[in-house]
Amino acid sequence: MKSIMFILFFVLLFAQEPIDPIPLKIKNINKEKAILGKILFFDPILSKDKKIACVSCHKPQCSGADCVQYSIGVFERSDKPMNAPTVYNARYNCWQFWNGRAKDLKEQAMMANHDPEEMDMDKKTLEKRLNSSLKYKSLFKRVYNKDYITDDMVYDAIAEFEKTLITPNCKFDRYLRGDKNALSEKEKRGYFLFKSYGCITCHNGINIGGNSFQKLGVFIKDIKIPRGLDRYEVTKRKEDKYVYKVPTLRNIALTAPYFHNGSVKSLKKAIYLMGKYNLGIDIPKEDINYIEAFLKTLTGEIPEILRGK
């Protein structure tokens, strides 16, 4: 194991940086469509009982996550045992949901809207409600130049809004852009350990995750965590049990609880367990403190569209 870690460290040391900074500005966004999507995202009219909106499970104060283990859907239904992932920077994920069952943000919005444990809506009811609203008729006419609102337009607009939910300019992004004073020595040490322990193997790219599927518990023979909706539910291959999309680490200090079932409350414990489960090592407490300090540098700015810009 030590020899493997030694080789991995030198590969990473001399390789190009495995993490890219988030762009400071987004290109090719239809602003009017995104603003319409924002209105829809915050409106409980999209749920069957008119009490749940997209924002109910993806709260700005929780950096696009929910801050609770299990979200509450329509009629107080609970989507157990899955924890709501952050919608911030989701445009950089290769797939959506923990098991990747949605290929893009538009499909994710549609699936969440139809899910009986989330919003429990159907095409007919959704279109009837929105077409009965003079406000929405006017807004959709302006954006789509159509007299009748379809469910496809709704999910398209929500996806356009979600594409704007980026959190640029975190301390680490500034460091990557050349400001070597952006990080303290402790934070730099944490990044060094993050790479040398092998965390970077799965958490890399612009979203520091979201671009691969990995098995939880590579080094655990009998893991004691409920599977929930893992990759097996999509592929039906036995080897995909306990396989999930690697979550983004951006804004990770603000999106507790952790893991697919929200069973871990603290960032330190999540670091320790991932070392044990997926690296096969017990990371010393001192090194966990360093890595946690680095992870806290991944908290970016609030998305512009949520600041009224």
Q: Which residues participate in catalysis according to the annotation? A: 118
CA-to-CA dists, residue 253 to 115, 166, 244, 257, 280, angstroms: 29, 16, 20, 10, 24
Scanning 49-122, the segments in alpha helix (DSSP H) are 105-114
- Say how far residue 150 (Cα) sits from the centre of its chain: 27
Neighbours of 30 (CB within 10 A): 15
Number of H helices, E strands in the chain: 11, 2
Q: Which residues of 133-158 are buried (b: 16+ CB within 10 A; e: fewer)?
A: eeebbebbeebbeeeebbbebbbbbb
Neighbours of 238 (CB within 10 A): 7
Helix or strand or coil: residue 174?
helix
Q: Both tokens of residue 180? A: 């070597």
Is-contact 7 151, C-beta < 8 A? no
